[in-house]
Amino acid sequence: MDVRKHRPLIELLSLALGLLVTGPNYRFVAFFLFLIYKLISYLWGDFLFRALQTFPRDFKGLFLLSQVKKEIARRMKEDRGLHEIFLDVVKRHPRKTALVDIERDKSWTFQELNELANQFANYFHKQGFKEGDVVALYMGNCPEFVAAWIGMAKIGVITAWINYNLRLDALKHSITVANAKGVIAAPDLQSAVKEALSTPIPVFVYGDVASGSSGTDLLKALSSMPTTEPPRASSVNFKSVLCYIYTSGTTGLPKAAVMKHFRYYWISMGGRRAFGLDSSDRIYVTMPLYHTAAGILGVGQTVTHGVTCVIRKKFSATNFWKDCVKYECTASQYIGEICRYLLAQPVVPEEELHKVRVMYGNGLRPELWPEFVERFRIQRVGEVYGSTEGNSNIVNTDNHVGACGFFPIYPFLTWLYPLRLVKVDEQTGEIIRENGLCVPCKPGETGEMVGAIRRKDPLMDFVGYVSQGDTDKKVLKDVFKKGDEVFTSGDVLMWDRQGYLYFKDRRGDTFRWKGENCSTTEVEKVLQPVKSVQDATVFGVEIPGMEGRAGMAAIALNTDANVEEEKFLANIGEILDANLPAYARPVFIRLCQKVELTGTFKLVKTNLQKDGFNLAKCGGDKVYYWDSATKKYLCLDRNLFDQIEKGQYNRF
């Protein structure tokens, strides 16, 4: 507050106070109270109004936080591993359905799921795998994926959850960075493991082993294994490492984030409490189980709380509501793309017949939110913001349209919510510092989300990644005071005057497309070695009506190579397809004739990103787009550009 600005009112208040102490005159008391009222209204009226508006929300949020902390403290005292907590669930609900596989129309009870997990545990224990060893799981969405990691946890083996879209270098890196001593692969993925690894490691194929392969038929091997509990891993407890879950981070190849038993339980339990889930629910899961969203917030409800999960291998817009009706689902997960695809579908009878009351996830756009809720009769939307490895996680608990969470606006509650926004330079994206410290945002401002690191508090600590170097890059020091540390999320959010937070963008060399974080560096590594490419840079661009940012590559061709553009684009399409998952493939390619270079002879990315795929800004350069129907890069013309801008074309 600027005292000089309000000096007249302060002097008047001092006068009233002086009159009050001269004698018991009630007129002066009344006058004094009136001045107090006017002063508060003048200086803090807006704040008090907002504080009263948000108090119910903040009180519920504080109560939720206290309940979560109380539950975690109880589990910390017990100090049992997640697999032992799962056994408690099995004992309570042995014959209840745990998981349903839609593709095979097959279900597993909790007892059957535990017995399959025991077979995994007994087999790998027999093979000599021991506590602290790592086994990579390279499988699609199926109940066996869940049984495998539960079984491994029973014998203290850490599982690395590999993205089944990865191939070649990215797959090799993900397996080797985890120091995996074996890979459990689905039958259709065993060849990808062979292509990626030059140094062979044991591959256990859950199904038919390809001819000529050295892989083990795991399905056959497990059939002869006992279903009884394996030897207990004595040193495994609530603070032990459970698995590695991969995240793109801000640059480079996928990073193996360390997930401990207690953190898995915390995310699952916190989600259950925040969204009002209980053991009678049936959750529809269509997102990849190797991600935190489906693997913990989804299936975690089965493992820790006895909820039934219905698993589909891949999302299908046409079957979404049909599945929900057939399997009597009461909850579902989403990402923004799923919601948009469902709204684009024609009306079907199942929209009126389903029992889904709550949907939770991230990325539901504010402009789609009301229509989505009204059309599909969803009682509650739980928008989540967070990261697998980070300590900065928030949730929208009161259906506020567009928000991914909130901070209380009361300054004195900062220590209870150790999450903050810090200002960033809009041009460079760098965090701003003044007098050596970062600048915290106020309500109404935009900045990067950071989470204060408290080393003695397991929930606020930052364990990070398998690679210490990757971990160190995500820790920022001397932020709010000298010597403190925070986890930097890389995400820019807006904090409105009521304390609600809205996701805006990612900071750094990533873009989010099709619900996945994509590293620009990794796409550039595929493009730049191509002989006909002089230089290439990759960035994300917004497409009207679509979630996230689509990848775009600006390429300067080698002028000495006499490159035919048509052949080049056909070739580059094949190279990208072979080396990248579909969501990381650039949607647009700009072939630059005249390029602006930095002092180190690199393309100036910021200007190219501003131009995007707008033909009017590209200075005559040709822009090509990926057509999913023909599987080719085709030339973008003005007519199609106009369709894209109007949201009339989305075949990417």
Give the bridge partners for 625, in sequence order: 588, 634
pLDDT of 523-548, one tens digit each?
A: 888 888 888 888 888 999 999 988 88
pLDDT of 465-476, one tens digit each?
A: 999 998 999 999
Identify whether 356 is part of a domain: no
Which residue range(s) make up the domain with 598? 510-645
- CB within 8 A of 436, min separation 6: which ones? 478, 482
pLDDT of residue 249: 43
pLDDT of residue 49: 73
Q: Give burial (CB, 10 Å; 0-12/13-18/19+) of 465.
A: buried
Identify whether 323 is part of a domain: no
The two tokens of residue 221 are 């091997």
Residue 625 sits in a domain whose CATH number is 3.30.300.30
Q: Is 150 found in the same domain as 281?
A: yes
Q: Is 518 found in the same domain as 486?
A: no
Q: Kindly report the pTM of this predicted structure.
A: 0.82
Q: Say which range, 82-96, 204-218, 465-479, has the weakest mean pLDDT.
A: 204-218
**CB of 512 within 8 A of CB of 336?**
no
pLDDT of 90-139, one tens digit each?
A: 999 999 999 999 999 999 999 999 999 999 999 999 999 999 999 999 99
Identify the H or E element spanning 567.
Answer: helix 565-579
d(CA 246, CA 290): 8
d(CA 48, CA 37): 12
pLDDT confidence tier of residue 273, bands split at 50, 70 and 90:
very high
Quote the mean pLDDT of the chain. 88
pLDDT confidence tier of residue 14, bands split at 50, 70 and 90:
low
pLDDT beyond 60 at 591: yes
3-state secondary structure of 553: strand
pLDDT of 476-500, one tens digit each?
A: 999 999 999 999 998 899 999 999 9
Q: Is 297 found in the same domain as 424?
A: no
pLDDT of 21-61, one tens digit each?
A: 555 555 566 566 666 665 555 556 677 777 778 888 988 98
Q: Is 246 found in the same domain as 121?
A: yes
CA dihedral 566→569→571→577, nearest 10 degrees, is -150
| Residue whose token pair is 């191939």 | 167
3-state secondary structure of 627: strand
Identify whether 327 is part of a domain: no
**CB of 183 within 8 A of CB of 201?**
yes
d(CA 378, CA 447): 31
**CB of 527 within 8 A of CB of 533?**
yes
Establish how many alpha carbons lie within 13 A of residue 83's alpha carbon, considering only the half-sphere containing its beta carbon: 31
Integer-rounded Cα Rg, in Å, for the chain is 28
Identify whether 290 is part of a domain: yes
d(CA 565, CA 622): 10
Q: Is 144 found in the same domain as 27?
A: no
d(CA 37, CA 271): 42
d(CA 607, CA 596): 9
Residue 264 sits in a domain whose CATH number is 3.40.50.12780
* Average confidence (pLDDT) over 198-215: 88
Q: Is 194 found in the same domain as 226?
A: yes
Strand pairing category for 182-185 and 203-205 = parallel
Identify whether 163 is part of a domain: yes
Position with higher pLDDT, 609 vs 635: 635
pLDDT of residue 301: 98
pLDDT of residue 328: 98
Across 583-602, b (16+ Cβ under 10 Å) vs e yields bbbbbbbbbbeebeeeeeee
Q: Is 226 found in the same domain as 142?
A: yes
pLDDT of residue 253: 80
Determine the longest span between alpha carbons in the chain, in angstroms: 103
Strand pairing category for 241-247 and 255-260 = antiparallel
Q: Is 215 found in the same domain as 87?
A: yes
Instruction: Identify which of 182, 183, 184, 190 has the alpha carbon closest to the alpha carbon of residue 209.
Output: 190
- CB within 8 A of 117, min separation 6: which ones? 83, 147, 148, 150, 151, 154
Identify the H or E element spanning 147.
Answer: helix 143-154
Quote the number of domains for the chain.
Answer: 4
Q: Is 183 found in the same domain as 164?
A: yes
The two tokens of residue 461 are 């600590």
Q: Is 270 found in the same domain as 128?
A: yes
* Average confidence (pLDDT) over 157-181: 94
Q: Is 277 found in the same domain as 196?
A: yes
d(CA 435, CA 422): 14
d(CA 195, CA 347): 44
- CB within 8 A of 49, min separation 6: which ones? none
pLDDT of residue 250: 43
**In this structure, what are the phi and psi dihedrals at residue 457, rounded to the nearest 5 degrees?**
-110, 110
Q: Is 99 found in the same domain as 53?
A: no
Identify whether 368 is part of a domain: no
3-state secondary structure of 124: helix
The two tokens of residue 264 are 């898995």
pLDDT of residue 3: 45
- List the beta strands (DSSP E) in 514-639: 516-519, 533-541, 550-557, 588-592, 622-627, 632-635
**CB of 568 within 8 A of CB of 562?**
no
Identify whether 381 is part of a domain: no
pLDDT beyond 70 at 430: yes
Report the percentage of the chain scoring pLDDT > 90. Answer: 62
pLDDT of residue 226: 98
DSSP string, 26-52: HHHHHHHHHHHHHHHHHHHHHHHHHHH
DSSP 99: E
CA dihedral 60→66→67→71, nearest 10 degrees, is 160
Position with higher pLDDT, 578 vs 45: 578
Alpha-carbon separation of residue 144 from 219, 281, 540, 610 (angstroms): 10, 21, 36, 46
pLDDT of residue 352: 95
